[in-house]
A and B are shown apart, each in its own frame.
Chain A
Amino acid sequence: MVHETVAATNAVVTLDVGLPGVVWGWIITMNMWAKSIGTGVIFMLFYLLKKYPVEAAAYRFKVALISVIAIHVFLLFTVIDLHQMFRFWHIFFHPHFTSAITVGAWMATLFVGLLFLLLYASFIKKDTILFDKVLAWTVVLAIPVTLYTAGLMAQSTARELWQMPTEAAQMIFAATLSGSAVMILIGNRLSYEAKRDLGIILAFSALGAFILYMSELVFGPMKAEEVAAVLEFIKGNGEYATMFWVGQILAFVGPFILVVLALMNRSTSILNLASISALVGLWISKHVWLVIPQLLNMS
């Protein structure tokens, strides 16, 4: 390990430029968080319509609307993060399809089109058969829309912390976690059994994501020197250590325990608390994971 030699050589940078700082910051965190909700609620609606078709029927329009809003928040933050936001149209007229950004932008656009079709079917035409047919395609497209950010992070060769397929799994867990959380919060008319199912999805999503984060925290440094250096920012007295653990507890550990308690007590209010905690914590967890690799000097 190179850091072992630093003490021996006492090599210290005495003249260089400053670090460029965090280039992808909270705006990109908002982007990922909102997208998780936008696709997650679609997954949950599909599940509920299959398992509890009668009581879930009332949520067709509501979920489509929430998804449209969330996806537009995602798109808004995607665009305002561009340093040249008024050139966004270049993605459609000068596309470079090796880039996950391009692929993601095209898929997200198609996804928005399907969401508006869902709104049309549920609000104007009131055609549940059409809605359910379109929903099936929307669910299929929601999978790559959820995953493309993981592809983008994997293409970021400089940031070894963002690995595939771990990031892909994290994106799916984020979508199912936030989707189930939102459905629990808006699901006043759902039966306890439906909410219980959503709670179980939330708990297993939280558990899966937490296991992945902890695995990376413990085992990541054993394979890659840059990963080891990056993870120092969330270990011990690291700059982001507190924020990391607050995020882990709010997003994953807390909600998992709360869901268990809720199921033991048949309590929907505890489920609501778990959902709010998961949504807040997810933002924090995503933000820390986004920022810390950017604190490492690449040269």
Chain B
Amino acid sequence: MQLGFLVDLHLCMGCKGCEIACKVENEVPLSTWRLRVKYVDVGMFPETKRTFTPLRCNHCANAPCERICPVSALHYIENGIVNIDKERCIGCAGCVMACPYGAIYIDPETQTADKCTYCAHRVASSMMPACVVACPVEANIFGDLDDKTSNISKYIQAHQGDVQVRKPEKGTLPHHYYVGGGNVHLNPLASRRDEGYSLFNKLTSKMPVGGDH
């Protein structure tokens, strides 16, 4: 079994329902996100368009975070999920340095690394991840990539040529796919960030020993 995710960006309307569901389900602390929806505005008024991109851990087949973790706190489980054992994590932040998707953060409450686990605890109970359940337009498609009859496999087959992953050049082999994604959606260098125009720019959180670097 190899679990994977696919987001159809044609369907996503940026409601952030997935983001909130994830926060609630996993008790994600303030100032941190396992899943977030990025808004990017494209064009000049009146020819403008807003794009929405849900971003979460890619559960890579060749995960740099798993490789760099000195204590196997980040590890694969048999269904392909890259899981995290927060009790074992020493908070070295090697995984934060290694993840090319910025998907891993240091939990300010536990002072350990954390990230999306595809709701491994729910999956173990044969439930869908919280974000999938919350999505009102079924833009989030989750399932077994090894099963040709699963919804995700059929979706990938039906949209061949329009299925992409983030940063394929990194060789991480993500198990998280996007349909209908463009450069603006998937490449952080394809948009600019004007300081002061984004929410949550001035966040403060509990700092580890050593204080603010």
- A interface residues with partner B (beta carbon < 8 Å): 2-3, 5-6, 9-18, 20-27, 80-85, 87-88, 90-91, 94-96, 98-102, 105, 152, 155-159, 225-226, 229, 294, 296-299
Contact = CB atoms under 8 A, between A and B. Distances in A.
Contacts of B69: 96, 99
Given A91-B90, A297-B193, A11 B201 contact: no
Given A16-B36, A101-B70, 9 more contacts: A5-B183, A10-B44, A11-B184, A13-B38, A25-B210, A81-B92, A98-B68, A298-B100, A299-B101
Interface in B197-212: 197-203, 208-210, 212
B198 A18 contact: yes
B89 A156 contact: no
A17 B205 CA distance: 13
A23 B100 CA distance: 15
A83 B213 contact: no
B72 A96 contact: yes
B150 interface: no
A14 B198 contact: yes
Contacts of B98: 155-158
A85 B170 contact: no
A96 B70 contact: yes
A9 B213 contact: no
B40 A14 contact: yes
Given A99-B69, A100-B68, A157-B170, A21 B213 contact: yes
A297 B38 CA distance: 12
A157 B99 contact: yes
Which interface class (under 10, 10 to 19, 20 to 34, 35 or more) fits B?
Answer: 35 or more
A82 to B, nearest CB: 5
B197 A152 contact: no
B180 interface: no
B191 A6 contact: yes
Contacts of B37: 15
Nearest to A97: B70
A94 B170 contact: no
Given A11-B190, A13-B191, A155-B68, A24 B102 contact: no
B84 interface: no
Contacts of B199: 15-17
A83 B93 contact: yes
A262 to B, nearest CB: 36
Contacts of A2: 183, 187, 189-190
B39 A22 contact: no
Contacts of A159: 97
Given A99-B67, A155-B98, A299-B188, A18 B92 contact: no
A99 B189 CA distance: 29
Contacts of A6: 190-192
A133 B155 CA distance: 66
22 contacts: A2-B187, A6-B192, A12-B193, A13-B39, A15-B38, A17-B36, A17-B200, A20-B105, A23-B106, A25-B212, A27-B213, A81-B93, A84-B89, A84-B111, A84-B112, A96-B71, A99-B67, A100-B68, A101-B92, A156-B64, A157-B170, A298-B101
B153 interface: no
Contacts of B203: 17-18
B143 interface: no
Given A83-B106, A101-B92, A155-B64, A13 B70 contact: no
Contact of A16 (B38, B111, B209): B38
Contacts of B88: 87, 90, 94
A23 B213 contact: yes
Contact of A15 (B39, B44, B91, B189): B39
Contacts of B96: 20, 23
